[in-house]
């Protein structure tokens, strides 16, 4: 049954209020009305949970050239060189701009304090309040955005789907959770800045709202997806029964933390010359190998050799969180294990955020410019959101499509299916566990084929018309999981974060290329 829902019109529409969405909004503010749909509150985003820092070549000992080289090396042959060049060359300008807007990065005296993380050749990581970098950046960007009367925030508004006509995105359908009503919102240009999809997996550092919504609605709307097989697993999340997989930042190892097995012995030197500072995919696989060798479920992160006062002051948020679980970061070895953390793949875009669907842009973790290649360099994600959020905003402002005219009301399919909340809870848990077991850190053909066949049991969900946020999120988790699994099965090699036990080596002749997937290219 179709029902008529209210329609609205704006100049520019942004889905998501993380670093990419806010920076784009600020760029657009002088050019017209900007509406930002927020899944939760405006301050709630993946950015807010970013602990470690933001990478930028601004210190006296660093060079843009070196940041470029480190990013390219981490990407394992798949970085888009032009995208990386833009990132590292434009990054310093936007960081200085952030500081001018009131972002308070940590300093040593009057100088910015730079630290180092895995696979960086220089100290180039800026941090704020020790380990609350993302939160501080969001504070400053929100304050700046709210100073513009043309920017309007819509909290608790969940985007259901794109409105597409003649291969152009006209806007979105969204659910206002406070009013429990659907609305259509038309815009001359729409930006997806919805973040990642860690909640596709049972073990993840991502917050509960990272359910891959933007990727799913973009795919259903007809965009091309790229490099979906490349999921980064963070090596160190807190591993305790019945507790969330709290992220233990890479900056802990950057400041000298050791990884030790359950017998108290360091092991990373056996796996990589950089030991604890090796690329994340190497460290994650090393931890999995070590747990298997020692018949354990975890390894330890050890900072007990560092000065306790330094540990407490440098990592206050992590220290306090561990302390709530009766663990003293300065005195105890902390049990850790890898968890899903970041999507290198996503909605295919050009260097200005344009997707393959006219009128639709994407920026931040949801987007795939190729800047991260097969493996993201630590702390490049916030910089990507900042730089490419601004670039998307610039291009949206120059998109000369007039402000659209909305029809009196949009017809929306509203037919409640037979599934209940408990059914969706079961489906989500089963998909999460299966993705972790079959499409996780170590993959092979048998496991991937089993995962795809299992997921296809739920293909009927694609025809379901959900009226509830939890239901819509679960359907998106199913779809994004399937995109990851299909892409992982196709890539018959190991590269960066994608590791195939049955194809353990990279194959440059066949696979030094980006994968793409779109509606019609695979059965869903």
**Tens of pLDDT along 408-433?**
677 676 666 678 889 999 999 999 99
Which of 277, 303, 338 is a domain's end point? 338
pLDDT of res. 51 = 66
Q: Is 431 part of a structural domain of the chain?
A: yes
CA–CA dist 428, 470 (Å, integer): 10
Instruction: Report if residue 428 sits inside a domain.
Output: yes
Active-site residue (options: 199, 245, 280, 443):
280
- The verdict on residue 272 lying in a domain is yes
Is 463 a domain residue? yes
| Other beta carbons less than 10 A from residue 161's beta carbon | 16
d(Cα 36, Cα 155) in Å, to the nearest integer?
8
Interval 342-362: pLDDT, tens: 999 999 999 999 999 999 999
Residue 304: the pLDDT is 96
Number of domains in the chain: 2
Q: Give yes or no for a contact between 302 and 325, defined as CB atoms under 8 angstroms apart.
A: no
Q: Which of 65, 68, 63, 60 is nearest to 113 (CA)?
A: 60
pLDDT digits (tens, 9 = 90+) for 480-516: 999 999 999 999 999 999 999 999 999 999 999 999 9
The label of the residue with tokens 């940041």 reads 67
The domain spanning residue 462 has which CATH number?
A: 1.20.58.100
- Domain end point (choices 338, 353, 380): 338
> What is the predicted pLDDT for the residue at 10?
95
**Residue ranges for the chain with pLDDT beneath 70:** 1, 46-51, 400, 406, 408, 411, 413-417, 523-524
Q: What is the CA radius of gyration of the chain?
A: 22
User: Does the residue 11 lie in any domain?
Assistant: no
Domain boundary among 303, 321, 338: 338
pTM over 0.95: no
Whether 407 is covered by a domain: the verdict is: no
What CATH number has the domain bearing residue 265? 3.90.700.10
Is 280 catalytic? The answer is yes
Domain hosting residue 251, numbered range = 238-338
Residue 23 in any domain: the answer is no
pLDDT for position 436: 96
Q: Where are the beta strands (DSSP E) in 85-167?
A: 107-108, 111-112, 114-115, 125-126, 151-154, 157-165
How large is the angle between the packed helices 81-100 and 64-74, nearest 10 degrees? 130
Helix, strand, coil content of the chain in percent (nearest 5)? 35, 20, 40
Q: For residue 111, tell me if it sits in a domain.
A: no
């Amino acid at each position: 049954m179709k029902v008529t829902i209210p329609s609205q019109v704006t100049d520019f529409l942004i889905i998501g209020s993380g670093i990419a969405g806010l920076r784009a909004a600020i760029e657009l503010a002088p050019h017209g009305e900007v509406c930002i749909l927020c899944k939760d509150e405006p301050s709630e985003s993946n950015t807010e949970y970013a602990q470690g820092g933001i990478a930028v070549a601004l210190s006296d000992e660093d060079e843009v050239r070196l940041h470029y080289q480190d990013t390219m090396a981490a990407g394992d042959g798949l970085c888009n060189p032009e995208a990386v060049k833009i990132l590292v060359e434009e990054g310093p300008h936007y960081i200085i701009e952030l500081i001018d807007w009131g972002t308070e990065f940590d300093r040593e005296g009057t100088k910015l304090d730079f630290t180092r993380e895995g696979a960086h050749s220089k100290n180039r990581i800026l941090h704020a309040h020790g380990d609350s970098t993302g939160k501080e950046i969001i504070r400053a960007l929100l304050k700046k955005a709210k100073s513009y009367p043309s920017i309007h925030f819509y909290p608790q508004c969940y985007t259901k789907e794109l409105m597409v006509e003649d291969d152009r995105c006209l806007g979105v359908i969204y659910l206002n959770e406070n009013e429990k009503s659907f609305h259509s919102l038309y815009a001359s240009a729409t930006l997806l800045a919805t973040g990642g999809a860690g909640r596709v997996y049972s073990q993840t550092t991502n917050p509960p709202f990272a359910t891959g919504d933007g990727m799913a609605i973009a795919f259903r709307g007809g965009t091309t997806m790229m490099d979906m097989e490349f999921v980064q697993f963070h090596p160190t999340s807190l591993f305790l029964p019945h507790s969330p997989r709290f992220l233990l930042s890479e900056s802990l190892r950057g400041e000298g933390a050791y990884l030790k097995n359950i017998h108290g012995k360091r092991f990373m030197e056996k796996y990589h010359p950089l030991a604890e500072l090796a690329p994340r995919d190497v460290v994650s696989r090393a931890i999995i190998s070590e747990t298997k060798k020692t018949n354990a479920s975890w390894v330890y992160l050890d900072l007990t050799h560092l000065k306790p006062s330094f540990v407490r002051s440098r990592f206050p948020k992590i220290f306090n969180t561990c302390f709530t679980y009766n663990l003293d970061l300065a005195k105890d070895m902390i049990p850790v294990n890898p968890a899903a953390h970041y999507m290198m793949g996503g909605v295919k875009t050009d260097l200005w955020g344009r997707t393959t669907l006219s009128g639709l842009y994407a920026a931040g973790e949801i987007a795939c410019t190729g800047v991260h290649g097969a493996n993201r360099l630590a702390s490049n994600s916030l910089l990507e959101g900042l730089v490419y959020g601004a670039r998307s905003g610039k291009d949206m402002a120059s998109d000369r499509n007039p402000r659209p005219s909305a029809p009196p009301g949009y017809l929306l399919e509203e037919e409640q299916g037979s599934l209940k909340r408990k059914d969706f809870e079961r489906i989500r848990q089963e998909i999460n566990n299966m993705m972790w077991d079959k499409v996780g850190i170590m993959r092979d053909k048998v496991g991937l084929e089993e995962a795809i066949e299992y997921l296809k049991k739920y293909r009927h969900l694609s025809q379901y018309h959900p009226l509830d946020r939890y239901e819509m999120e679960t359907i998106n988790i199913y779809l994004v999981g399937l995109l990851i699994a299909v892409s992982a099965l196709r890539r018959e090699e190991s590269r960066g974060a994608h590791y195939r036990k049955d194809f353990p080596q990279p194959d440059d002749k066949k696979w030094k290329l980006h994968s793409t997937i779109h509606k019609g290219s695979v059965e869903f």
